[in-house]
Amino acid sequence: MEKKPFLTLPQARQIMQDIPTPFHVYDEQGIRENVRALHKAFCWNKGFKEYFAVKALPNPYILQLLKEEGCGVDCSSFTELMLAEALGFGGDEIIFSSNVTPAEDMRKAYELGGYINLDDATMDDFMADVAGVPETVFCRYNPGGVFTMGESKEGFQVMDNPGDAKYGMTEQQMIDTFKKLAAKGAKQFGIHAFLASNTISNEYYPHLAGILFRLAVRVAQQAGVKIAAINLSGGVGIPYRPEQTANDILVIGEGVRKQFEEILVPAGMGDVKIFTELGRFTTGPFGALVATAIHQKHIYKEYIGLNSCAADLMRPAMYGAYHHITVLGKENAPCTHKYDVTGGLCENNDKFAVDRMLPEIEMGDILYIHDTGAHGSAMGYNYNGKLHCAEVLLCADGSHKLIRRAEKPADYFATLDMSPWGDKLLNK
Ligand SMILES: *Cc1c(COP(=O)(O)O)cnc(C)c1O
């Protein structure tokens, strides 16, 4: 699939008049249209709801526009719950999917009336002790072993390793937990699983749905409980590489519907609600990191240095992840030069791209790093005293809005006790 920026050089320059690079920019219209397609794909299910994984892009303006489109939120920590509360999410608009859960987080989720998704069979007593027993409780499933689905037509294998993952509980533990919770007053139950990440395949969700629907039928019978919802969680991926093909959410929705009608409807469970917690799929392609080429060096390889670094986008350094790069204004220029595109951290893995063929880059060129709309800015950190960059919303009407200012030195120093040395650093 051709990787096309949603921003032109003139648009970037317009934003740069107010907000210097580097910044992440998000495409409001793209996000809205994508969520509408998701809702269309699952409109056959009356109770369908997307709970956006807040960790992917925890910005209130993004959460607000997702709220306007009918989404809820999937939170995993106290501060994510605080953000959800501030935006007016409550009750069945919140799912709390955490692990190694602190007591205060559990209490907060309970107080907000959100759905609580228990990661482990030891968590039901913990929840009851520190918070209470809600009417509906979810449990997270881990089937163990290796999860494979064969190769997609481009030869990308969908594979993950639940047997090695810290999340979820076994089938028997789920049955026992449901029984215990029912005895403590829970009225109905939900099942959740996240078995593979960033899948480029229209088959992942239908395959997962098949596993979870069959599990739901068995568990409902053996525990004697009502299953109200099945949460397919995240994991639907995006084509980071040009040679990958985007998932088709309408095909995915139809695939899940087929499993629903084959498994749940005959079991008398046709009223089960389908939930999703898509982060990457929802906002990933609709964000980009915009940075300026500020240095070049010619040693054993050719390097282009940007005024950004892994503190703004950690995925390449952390996972060796590929992020496509477009030099704005040179979209159609031939890719004749091989570069390592780097940030300025004192870490050799601080490279946005290695051996990447690009048009010839001049100092001052604006580089557009694709697909940073999920797990991009959110993973930012302050190593080397690097400061988080700004976030900008490209609004549907073509205007732009600063939705997170860049960090200042004062933000970085705010948690240090500088009082013996004066407050100079806190004024910068
Ligand atoms: C991270 C996460 C998600 C979102 O995953 P994506 O790959 O962004 O779709 C959803 N649910 C849970 C519990 C998660 O931890």
CATH number of the CATH domain containing 54: 3.20.20.10
Q: Which atom of ligand 1 is nearest to the CA of 56?
A: 8
Per-residue pLDDT band for 197 (boundaries 50, 70, 90) equals very high
**pLDDT grade for 158, boundaries at 50, 70 and 90:** confident
The yes-or-no verdict on residue 153 having pLDDT over 80 is no
389, pLDDT greater than 70: yes
Q: 397 C-alpha vs ligand 1 centroid, how far in Å?
A: 30
Tell me whether residue 183 is in a domain.
yes
State residue 301's pLDDT score: 97
> Which of 91-105, 142-156, 413-427 has the lowest average pLDDT?
142-156
**Other beta carbons within 10 Å of 377:** 26
pLDDT attached to residue 154: 55
Residue 180 is assigned to a structural domain of this protein: yes
Q: Does residue 292 sit in the same domain as residue 400?
A: yes
Residues 376 and 294 both lie in one domain: yes
Same domain, 332 and 271: no
Last residue of a domain, one of 282, 314, 334: 282
Pocket probe for ligand 1: among 51, 74, 282, the residue whose CB has the most ligand atoms within 8 Å is: 74
| Domain presence at residue 61 | yes
Instruction: Please give the distance, rounded to the nearest whole angstrom, from the Cα atom of residue 76 to the centre of ligand 1.
Output: 10
Q: Is the pLDDT of residue 152 over 80?
A: no
How is residue 74 annotated by DSSP? Answer: E
DSSP for 89-127 reads --GGGEEEE-SS--HHHHHHHHHTT-EEEESSTTHHHHH
Question: Same domain, yes or no, for 357 and 310?
Answer: yes
Q: What average pLDDT score do residues 406-416 get?
A: 94
Q: Is residue 418 included in any domain, yes or no?
A: no
My answer on whether 144 and 278 are in the same domain is yes
Question: Are 238 and 289 found together in one domain?
Answer: no
Structure confidence at residue 160 as a pLDDT band (50, 70, 90): confident
Contacts of 356 (CB under 8 A, 6+ apart): 325, 338, 339, 340, 341
Calculate the average pLDDT of the chain.
96
Nearest Cα to Cα of residue 294 among 284, 308, 282, 312: 308
Together in a domain, 126 and 215: yes
Q: Is residue 314 part of a domain?
A: yes
Per-residue confidence (pLDDT) for residue 422, from 0 to 100? 83
Return the number of other C-beta atoms located less than 10 Å from residue 243's C-beta. 9
Q: Is the CB of 55 under 6 A from ligand 1?
A: yes
SS (H, E, C) 14-66: HHHHHCCCCEEEEEHHHHHHHHHHHHHHCCCCCCCEEEEEHHHCCCHHHHHHH
pLDDT at 291 over 80: yes
Same domain, yes or no: 340 and 401 = yes
Which tens digits make up the pLDDT trace of 170-195? 999 999 999 999 999 999 999 999 99
Q: Is residue 140 lining ligand 1, measured as CB closer than 6 Å?
A: no
Coil, strand, or helix at residue 276?
Answer: strand
Q: Is the CB of 386 under 6 A from ligand 1?
A: no
Ligand 1 neighbourhood includes 95 CB (under 6 angstroms): no
Same domain, 257 and 313: no
Number of domains in the chain: 2
Residues 276 and 292 reside in one and the same domain: no
What tens digit of pLDDT does each residue of 308-327 get? 999 999 999 999 999 999 99
Both 210 and 267 in a single domain? yes
The answer to whether residues 117 and 184 belong to one domain is yes
* Residues in a beta bridge with 339: 356
Tokens 């732009």 identify what position?
400
pTM of this structure: 0.96
Q: Is the CB of 233 under 6 A from ligand 1?
A: yes
Calculate ∠ Cα 66-238-95, nearest 5°: 40
Structure-block tokens of residue 136 = 């509906």
Residue 332, domain extent: 285-413
Q: Tell whether ligand 1 has an atom less than 6 A from the beta carbon of residue 311.
A: no
Q: Is the CB of 112 under 6 A from ligand 1?
A: no
**pLDDT tens-digit series, residues 49-82:** 999 999 999 999 999 999 999 999 999 999 999 9
Residue 394, phi-psi category: left (phi > 0), alpha (psi -120 to 50), beta (remainder): beta
Q: Do 312 and 388 contact (CB within 8 A), yes or no?
A: yes
- Asked if residue 15 belongs to a domain, the reply is no
Separation in Å, CA 44 to CA 39, 122, 254, 265, 419: 9, 36, 9, 13, 61
Q: What number of other Cβ atoms are within 10 A of residue 152's Cβ? A: 18
